[in-house]
Chain A
Amino acid sequence: MSEERSFEELQRELDDVVARLERGDVPVDEAIALFRRGEELYRACVERLQAAELRIEELSPSDTADA
């Protein structure tokens, strides 16, 4: 679900989930679903940080530049 989404998007959704729960106007069933979603997002964010290696890709303008 989260592969193509950016870290920023995931983090923003996590913030939204927390904000909704903190507002406290959600029914219990939904609250539990939101909590699960929040945990999932948290884990997805942390996973992104695990790839600890700085990757460097060299791009040559002549390869891709269209005339």
Chain B
Amino acid sequence: MSEHPGHKPQPQAAARKVYSVSGFNRGIARTLGKLPAIWVGGEVTELRRNESWATVFLTLKDPKTGATLNVTIARRTFDRLELELEEGETVHVAGRAELWELKGELGLRATTIERVGVGAHLVALEQLKRRLADEGLFAPERKRRLPRVPRAVGVLTGADAAARGDLIATIGRRFPATKVVVCESRVQGRGAAEAIVVALRCLAAHDEVDVVVLARGGGSFEDLLPFSSEPVVRAVAACPVPVVSAVGHEQDTPLCDLAADVRAATPTAAGALVVPDEQELRAGLEACRRRLGLSVRTLLDRDAAKLARTGDRLRAAPRLLLERRRSALDRSSARLQTLSPVATLGRGYAIVRSGGQTLREAGAVATGDALDIELASGSLGARVEEVKP
């Protein structure tokens, strides 16, 4: 070691009281251990929990200065707290100062952690959620179907151009014939909940509005709180037309999401939910029209075929009748035949006439008289040769 000018000469190495690193750390640790248990408040920035570790590590940050403090807590203690702690949350940590002797690092050995700020909100929110759920406000059977083609879409939005723009652009692209009724409202801060309730009523009261979209982009937990407030949640549940909730980002679940009929992850997704795709709708209509034409043709064809069969039967009827008559006639004629002398002649008899009179006795004629003999076929002219009365 070189001598520095102006400095007092140091004691000889042999004469110094020298602490080992471990000794120093141990000594500091012992001194620190005498400090009282205290509460330290800050933001959780790094949280490392592992099933195989006995200790959970996290870093507390002072949000004003950025100063940091290492905090350790027994994993079993941490797990029993059931905090579901996220980085960025504000907490109060109770514990004692502690030195990690191996590294000489200062830390806080925690005995408990409490969530503050948002944490308190969360507890209240959880209670409200449970109460409204018990009332049945979030029940699946309360959910209404969205109209397929609303006459007008009501949009409740803040001065948030992005959410509103995304929603309207999606509606315009899918179904340009839509009417959109926009109602701007204060959506965060003091009076927001009341303003949202009024805007919602106002939209629902519009004659043509068949569905309302709550379009609110992402925001901090506090910013989104009005959408979890009891008046807003109740107004959503009581809204006479179906409500689509597009509030915050995917991971946020404001209570209005649970009361709404449908939840959309983004305003764009909401747009796709509230109006149909025009191309699909047209295709559906065309298909419907084809079926209309086809069904009526099938029906008429079937009827025409039936008519044709009836016509055939109608035309066949007189012939049938005639045939029936003819066979009856044939039978009559057969009976007539048996009575006719012609049939008798057929058996070899003949009819003999003289002077137009049928002869019944020989004495009616004299020798030399002319006779007319009728046979079954043809007749003969003859003269009497002899009379034998």
- Interface set of A (CB-CB < 8 Å, partner B): 6-8, 11, 14-15, 17-18, 21-22, 24, 26, 28, 31-32, 34-35, 38-39, 42, 45-46, 48-61, 64-65
Contacts and interface: CB of A to CB of B under 8 A. Distances in A.
30 contacts: A6-B149, A6-B151, A11-B288, A14-B285, A15-B288, A17-B292, A21-B292, A24-B298, A31-B299, A31-B300, A32-B296, A35-B293, A38-B296, A42-B285, A42-B288, A42-B289, A48-B177, A49-B177, A49-B278, A49-B281, A50-B177, A54-B177, A54-B179, A55-B179, A55-B180, A60-B183, A61-B185, A61-B199, A64-B202, A65-B198
A42 B286 CA distance: 8
B172 interface: yes
Given A14-B288, A28-B303, A6 B177 contact: no
A22 B295 contact: yes
Among A14, A52, A59, the most chain B Cβ lie within 10 Å of the Cβ of A59
Interface residues of B, number: 43
B177 to A, nearest CB: 5
B249 interface: no
A44 B206 CA distance: 24
B377 to A, nearest CB: 65
A24 B299 contact: yes
A22 B291 contact: yes
Interface of B: 147-149, 151-152, 168, 171-172, 176-185, 195, 198-199, 201-203, 205-206, 210, 278, 281-282, 285, 288-289, 291-293, 295-296, 298-300, 302-303
Given A28-B299, A28-B300, A59 B292 contact: no
A24 B295 CA distance: 8
A49 to B, nearest CB: 6
Given A24-B298, A48-B149, A59-B182, 8 more contacts: A17-B292, A35-B292, A51-B177, A52-B176, A56-B181, A59-B183, A60-B184, A64-B202
A55 B210 CA distance: 15
A49 B282 contact: yes
Contacts of A11: 148-149, 285, 288
B183 A18 contact: no
Contact of B302 (A24, A45, A54): A24
Given A11-B285, A42-B289, A21 B149 contact: no
A57 B182 contact: yes
A12 B61 CA distance: 61
Contact of B149 (A7, A14, A35, A64): A7
B180 A54 contact: yes
Q: Identify the 6 closest CB pairs spanning chains A and B, nearest first.
A: A21-B295, A7-B149, A35-B296, A38-B292, A59-B183, A54-B172
Among B149, B195, B282, the most chain A Cβ lie within 10 Å of the Cβ of B149
B176 A53 contact: yes
B196 to A, nearest CB: 10
Contacts of A7: 148-149, 151
B285 A8 contact: no
A52 B202 CA distance: 26
A57 B292 contact: no
Nearest to B209: A59
A54 B176 contact: yes
A57 B206 CA distance: 11
A61 B177 contact: no
Given A6-B210, A24-B299, A54-B168, A39 B176 contact: no
A46 B285 contact: yes
B180 A56 contact: yes
Nearest to A39: B292
Contacts of B168: 54, 56
Contacts of B183: 58-61
